[in-house]
């Protein structure tokens, strides 16, 4: 049984979205396979369960009276609110009472609390957020998308290894192909960090490094993992989300309603729908922590639960730890 602690107070429409997403997830998984623990203000969660026509004990609740606001400073919030749903939810994992944590709350606070409470695997310099980019074929993991800026070559190198383990364990790609995001394909291109990272990556084990890739190559899906500084990854990720919205808006403005309702149009929208991809994992920590958009719909929470369960089942965190320790270690 995989036990997933879900921050019921995160996100713009908490706890209803979290309750709804949990119910959807429970309906899709056999009852012996996963358990969802709703972490947050008990009364709020029980009211939400009632709104969904559920008894108050339908899903176990772990009471956490404090709530971290979306605009609060991460470190101050983590230190000042030890009874927040974020701190309590991660505390369950730290004590071995849960296997994974999911939150659509304050991203910075989830990152800070995950790193502080669970710690990093030895040898991992910085935890990184990986995001799946939808393409017309398979999704591509871009790492980092915002946990780190001003990354060193060494850190980029670490992201490649972390991302490769994720690709193997969660995406089912046994020999991941890794590219380094750059402004040109030639080895001598780029800023100082990527120029230095290139030779480190060229000599790596455990994945196939295909060299520099450009912004236009990400969606070709020839790579399983694209490595970049969190500044550029964040810019591209958020840009992608907005382009998908722009496209949708353009189609809605220019096309006939019956066209928009067609099965083909639905398939196009589905590819572009981020909620299909279920949150972005914080990787490199000793445990499983998944960050969802504040605006996540229930479907995104349901998918994050699926991804978290897959991460636990595949021993993702342990494999990342092993990648950085022992004989086959990241040098």
Binding site for a second copy (CB under 8 A): 135-136, 146, 149-150, 181, 183, 190-192, 214-220, 228-232, 234-243, 246-247, 249-251, 253-256, 259, 262, 264-265, 267-268, 271-272
Give 47 or 214: the residue with its C-beta nearer to a second copy: 214
- Report the nearest approach of a second copy to the CB of residue 238 (Å): 3
Identify the residue whose tokens are 């939400």. Answer: 48
- Report the nearest approach of a second copy to the CB of residue 280 (Å): 14
Give 96 or 257: the residue with its C-beta nearer to a second copy: 257
Q: Give the count of beta carbons closer than 10 Å to the beta carbon of residue 27.
A: 8
Give 24 or 152: the residue with its C-beta nearer to a second copy: 152
Give 4 or 156: the residue with its C-beta nearer to a second copy: 156
User: Phi and psi of 213, rounded to 5°?
Assistant: -130, 155
- Report the nearest approach of a second copy to the CB of residue 186 (Å): 9
In the numeric block, which tokens belong to residue 246? Answer: 């722009």
- Report the nearest approach of a second copy to the CB of residue 149 (Å): 4
Nearest-5° Cα angle at 151, 141 to 93: 60
- Report the nearest approach of a second copy to the CB of residue 171 (Å): 19
- Report the nearest approach of a second copy to the CB of residue 214 (Å): 5
Give 116 or 221: the residue with its C-beta nearer to a second copy: 221
- Report the nearest approach of a second copy to the CB of residue 283 (Å): 18
Give 19 or 110: the residue with its C-beta nearer to a second copy: 110
Give 268 or 322: the residue with its C-beta nearer to a second copy: 268
Burial class (CB in 10 A: 0-12, 13-18, 19+), 225: buried
- Report the nearest approach of a second copy to the CB of residue 252 (Å): 10
Give 274 or 324: the residue with its C-beta nearer to a second copy: 274
């Amino acid at each position: 049984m995989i036990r997933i602690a879900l921050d019921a107070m995160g996100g713009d429409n908490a706890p209803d979205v979290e309750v709804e997403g949990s119910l959807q997830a429970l309906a899709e998984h056999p009852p012996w396979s996963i358990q969802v623990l709703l972490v947050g203000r008990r009364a709020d969660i029980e009211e939400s369960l009632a709104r969904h026509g559920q008894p108050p004990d339908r899903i176990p609740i772990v009471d956490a009276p404090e709530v971290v606001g979306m605009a609060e400073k991460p470190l101050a919030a983590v230190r000042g609110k030890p009874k927040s749903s974020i701190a309590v939810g991660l505390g369950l994992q730290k004590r071995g009472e849960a296997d994974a944590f999911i939150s659509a709350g304050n991203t910075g606070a989830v990152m800070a609390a995950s790193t502080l409470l669970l710690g990093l695997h030895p040898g991992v310099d910085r935890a990184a957020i990986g995001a799946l980019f939808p393409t017309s074929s398979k999704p591509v993991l871009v790492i980092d998308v915002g946990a780190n800026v001003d990354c060193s070559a060494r850190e980029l190198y670490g992201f490649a290894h972390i991302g490769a383990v994720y690709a193997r364990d969660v995406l089912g790609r046994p020999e991941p192909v890794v590219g380094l995001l750059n402004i040109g394909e030639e080895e001598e291109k780029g800023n100082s960090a990527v120029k230095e990272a290139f030779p480190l990556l060229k000599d790596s084990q455990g994945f196939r490094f295909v060299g520099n890739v450009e912004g236009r190559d990400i969606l070709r899906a020839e790579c399983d993992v694209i490595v970049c500084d969190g500044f550029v990854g964040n810019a591209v990720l958020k840009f992608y989300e907005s382009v998908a919205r722009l496209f949708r808006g353009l189609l809605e403005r220019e096309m006939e309603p019956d066209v928009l309702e067609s099965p083909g149009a639905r398939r196009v929208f589905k590819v572009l729908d981020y909620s299909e991809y279920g949150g972005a994992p914080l990787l490199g920590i000793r445990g499983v922590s998944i960050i969802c958009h504040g605006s996540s719909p229930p479907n995104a929470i349901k998918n994050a639960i699926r991804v978290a369960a897959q991460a636990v089942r595949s021993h993702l965190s342990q494999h990342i730890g092993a990648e950085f320790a022992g004989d086959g270690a990241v040098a």
